[in-house]
Amino acid sequence: MNDYLVNTVTHGFGAFEKATGVRNKDTLTASGTLNTGIFRAFLALRIALKIRTAAICYNHTVTLTLFVGKSMAPVAAAPSAAKNGANTNFKDKEKSGSVRSSNIVAAKAVADAVRTSLGPRGMDKMIQSGNGDVTITNDGATILNQMSVIHPTAKMLVELSKAQDIEAGDGTTTVVVIAGALLDAAQKLLVKGIHPTAISESFQRAAAQAEIILQNMATPIDLANDELLVKLATTSLNSKVVSQHSWLLAPMAVNAVKKVLDDSRPDNVDLKAIKIIKKMGDTVEESEMIEGALIDQKTMGRGGPTRVEKAKIALIQFQLSAPKTDMENQVIISDYAQMDRALKEERQYLLDLCKQIKKSGCNVLLIQKSILRDAVSELSLHFLAKMKIMVVKDIERDDIEFYSNILGCRPIASADHLVAESLGSADLVEEMSTGGDGKVIKVTDIQSSGPAVSILLRGSNKLVLEEADRSLHDALCVIRCLVKKRFLLPGGGAPEMEVACKLREKANERGGAEQYCWRAFADALELVPYTLAENAGLSPIHTVTELRSQHANGHSNYGVNVRKVRKG
């Protein structure tokens, strides 16, 4: 039972007592919640008398304090509440401001941490994790993902970078820098006394206008122009650690995306249809795109084949091992005769499964990874080796759809459904060494391959290999964005500078506080060319001033280019 103490004041108390039946400083007792009828009557009285209320809960005691009259002087809190340290008078008007300031400071700290890595002359970051692993990168999403962020607002910027990485692949640093600049601009507007709601609404309208400006300055592209697509992919690789290998990775990204283009969905690309397999050894120059499929496993051996021509490939999702009882049942063997009979039954069960696989015409068997028991037993491997069937086990569940598409075979969940029509066909399946103990299965000349492609990525060490993988992913995402949008924008901070200039012109058409907000929004966008110039060793103030002059004269494609400001 909870006690609910209601405090009232002399003015208007008669109406409250008549409506609720509650006397001054009376104590209500209810089971868990305040009586609904009394609470509604109290609200009606509050509206009628223009009473302002505050409710504070301490230790299951709800104190309702009423403020009446022009002075709005608060009534003293109930003794029981005062004893618990309750303060019903919300005087701390600065609390909301300090909370906003704390959020902005935390977000700006995250933005400043990655700002130095922006652009082709941005600095790489060396990050050491708790277990001692070292990562060297200047990819914004990777840097933020490795950071141990505690503040909720800072975490929002980390999630913003992740969302940008998923949607666009590139621009993960830029989006965080712009967000930090906008929050800094908002803080300055708050100091001037502009209400947070007015700032938020003005920024949203300015962002909508910025999108229109970007669409007007965009240039349409032709996807048949491979040379242009390669240049665009190279641009995304220029700021990476492996930028010296962009001559190889950029064409590889373009060819991979064009190969998986689906005619039924010409405006989108499913990057899951591009399988990247990383293998340490050799250099990045040895990376290659395979006109076929790569499987990051090795054959099970046991005397079985490691090279099969005219392959018939089956992809199964059931296990070739003895069936197990569930947790509620168990098999009890009391003598050797029963043990011999159980082993004989197990042997016969596995032999029948292997014969059924051989009967379908399969000579290459891919088995899905199982978490319950072994995907294939030693006895099954022995039988399959005798039947000259190549066995590859532990295919990840997430990869089943990819291999089904690229190999043209159907996943089979039961041996009874394994027929010749469910098999894929290829001229050659072979085990290929990648140096050391590393091996992969290479499938070439697939008869009915779907829209899928495999890339074998090489690197001399783990750091280079991981960074090459991230860089190739960014290049793939850039080409995917071009396929979806079919237009491009200049780089070097030119779009941000053009939007800033246009928004300043539009701000003159606005009135009141919104004009200040639009100008602040425009100033925030100029941080991108400012940072590009700063990271390149140029004078940022001189560079931004020159760019502002050029864009005011109609040169919308002018941006920062390392040493000088010129047309992008």
Instruction: Could you list the beta-strand ranges (E) of 35-139.
Output: 52-58, 61-68, 73-74, 125-128, 134-137
Secondary structure class of 110 (helix, strand, coil): helix
Spot the catalytic one: 172, 299, 531, 543: 172
Structure tokens at 509: 């058409």
Structure tokens at 209: 């206008």
At a CB cut-off of 8 Å and minimum separation 6, what does 109 contact? 154
Q: Is 184 in the active site?
A: no
Q: Is 416 in the active site?
A: no
Q: How far is CA 551 from CA 493, 497, 514, 532, 533, in A?
A: 12, 7, 23, 17, 17
At a CB cut-off of 8 Å and minimum separation 6, what does 353 contact? 320, 380, 415
Q: 233 with 250: CB under 8 angstroms?
A: yes
Spot the catalytic one: 139, 165, 170, 184: 139
Q: Is 173 in the active site?
A: yes
CA–CA gap between residue 550 and residue 456 (Å, rounded): 45
Secondary structure class of 452 (helix, strand, coil): coil
Spot the catalytic one: 165, 170, 296, 474: 474
Q: 242 with 249: CB under 8 angstroms?
A: yes
Q: Are strands 424-433 and 439-446 parallel, antiparallel or unpaired?
A: antiparallel
Nearest to 32 by CA among 8, 64, 57: 57
CA–CA gap between residue 29 and residue 1 (Å, rounded): 7
CA–CA gap between residue 166 and residue 155 (Å, rounded): 17
Q: Is 267 in the active site?
A: no
Report the catalytic residues.
Answer: 139, 172-173, 474
